[in-house]
Amino acid sequence: MLVDLDYFFAQAEETRNPSIRDKPVVVCVYSGRSEDSGAVSTANYIARKFGVKSGMPIALAKSKLQNVDAVFLPVDDTYYEKISSGVMSILKRYADSFEQAGIDEAYLEVSQRTKESYEEATELAKRIKNEILTNHSLTCSIGIGPNKVIAKVASDAHKPDGLTVIEPGRVLEFLSPLPVDRLIGVGLKTTQKMRALGVTTIGDLAKLDVQRLVKIFGKKLGLYFHNAAAGIDGEPVQERAGATSISRISTLKEDTRKLILITENTDRLCEEIKAELDQNGLVFRTVTAIAIMKDLSVRSRSKSLDNTNRLEVLQETVKELFERYLAESTLEIRRAGVKVSGLSKVGKNQKELSSFFE
Ligand code: TTP
Ligand code: MG
């Protein structure tokens, strides 16, 4: 099964402040360039009714919620991480094997403990939903199916607070009519390419010649699309490399805008991060520079690279990001931080589904 928390960041904000529950809630990543610059991280389902979506510019979300009593909040990663790890430790207890797939979602292999009974798996899912609701006041959506691809699509089928069970005999009738972008890994670009091929639904994709798919998308992805559309997937549920990110923050000697004073600190933070990466045999793909201002507001700049674990690359990228930030802002920085994410095991032959796309 795949368990995914509903409108996670926004729901987390609602649990902290229940009085906003019946209003549109929009959680934003403010870039800090101007008051409304930045993007929507997520929104609750009330805000979604107004057309607000993840990734949308904040200004656009505001225009959709004009004259509405809506709540706009900045992301608070530390708070969400804490809730996430609480939820994940509940989920682990219900799984034969467990794979966290994001901050708010995880795959649970439950075949053994349910003796492959879909009825028992359904009961298990209800208990899980109940426990997360009781302990964290959060709803989630759960999909149950014969493999990860189907569980994932099923979890999305009836959100929020959904529970969707797809037994093997119903896989094709379930998948066929769904839009092709419901498959994990089919993003905007791929959807467009597929449309050009006359593919709008998963059923259309299933009918496409596999050779053609391989030609267009490459062997790995082409085969994956071909199989996924037919509901075929053999990927095991397996624990991923521990943390999804590693970060360090430190307070500067003085509030400053001098790059050298900042990099003195961040170079050291990078060394600490490098040590932790090496200890765990990890490489990273994304570097984030975090600036905490005098007024304690938080700004960040990120850059994605090819997988690496090199200290110099990390330090250089952090320097570049702070340089860019300083050019765009006039404020003094009080604390500086570094985060690496998109972690994976060094040299691991990445054949997990998610590794194609992350
Ligand atoms: P999702 O599970 O994709 O979205 P969600 O939990 O907000 O909503 P849903 O009910 O559809 O599951 O992502 C989990 C969190 O990740 C989300 O709460 C905020 C963050 N996120 C972003 O910051 N930007 C994005 O573009 C997306 C999709 C998610
Ligand atoms: Mg979610």
CA of 160 to the centre of ligand 1 (A): 12
| β pairing state of 71-74 and 25-30 | parallel
Which of 2, 54, 138, 286 has most ligand 1 atoms within 8 Å of CB, for mutation? 54
Nearest ligand 1 atom, CA 105: 2
pLDDT value at position 285?
A: 92
Burial category of 87 from C-beta neighbours within 10 Å (exposed 0-12, middle 13-18, buried 19 and up): buried
Ligand nearest to the CA of 102: 1
Who lines ligand 1 at CB under 6 A?
Answer: 4-9, 41-42, 54-55, 103-105, 159-160
What separation in Å is there between the alpha carbon of 81 and the centre of ligand 1? Answer: 13
pLDDT at 244: 77
What's the pTM? 0.73
Confidence (pLDDT) at 93: 96
- Answer whether 329's CB lies under 8 Å from 258's CB: no
Strand partners, 338: 248, 289
| Residues 14-25 pLDDT 10s | 999 999 999 999
Residue nearest to atom 24 of ligand 1 (CA): 41
**CA 296-300-304 angle, 5° bins:** 160
* CA-nearest residue, atom 21 of ligand 1: 41
**Of 42, 46, 188, 286, best ligand 1 pocket probe by most atoms within 8 Å of the beta carbon:** 42
Please name the residue whose Cα sits nearest to atom 12 of ligand 1: 6
SS3 143: strand
Q: Are strands 163-165 and 140-144 parallel, antiparallel or unpaired?
A: parallel
Place of tokens 């979890």: 155
Q: Whose CA is nearest to atom 5 of ligand 1?
A: 7
For residue 27, which atom of ligand 1 is closest to its CA?
A: 19
Mutate to test the pocket of ligand 1, among 4, 6, 8 (most ligand atoms within 8 A of CB): 8
User: CA geometry: angle at 89 spanning 357 and 283, to 5°?
Assistant: 35
Give residue 50's identity as a one-letter amino acid code: F
Which ligand has the nearest atom to the CA of 54?
1
**Could you tell me which residues come within 8 angstroms of residue 102 by beta carbon, excluding any fewer than 6 positions away?**
244
Segments of 151-281 assigned E as strands: 163-165, 245-256
CA 2 to chain centre: 14
Ligand nearest to the CA of 38: 1
Could you identify the atom of ligand 1 that is nearest to the CA of residue 41?
A: 23
pLDDT value, residue 243: 64
pLDDT < 70 regions, the chain: 241-243, 347-358
How distant, in Å, are the alpha carbons of 36, 87, 307, 344 from that of 304? Answer: 24, 28, 9, 14
Distance in angstroms (rounded) separating the CA atoms of residues 115 and 92: 18
Helix (H) or strand (E) run with residue 108 in it: strand 105-109
Atom of ligand 1 nearest to the CA of 6: 10
Q: What residues are labeled active site?
A: 105
What is 292-329 written as a DSSP string? EETT--EEEEEEEEEEE--HHHHHHHHHHHHHHHHHH-
Query: Given this model, what pLDDT does residue 35 score?
Result: 85
C-alpha of residue 53 to centroid of ligand 1, in Å: 9
**Helix and strand element counts for the chain (H, E):** 13, 13
Per-residue pLDDT at 239? 81
3-state secondary structure of 221: helix
Tell me which residue has its CA closest to atom 23 in ligand 1: 41
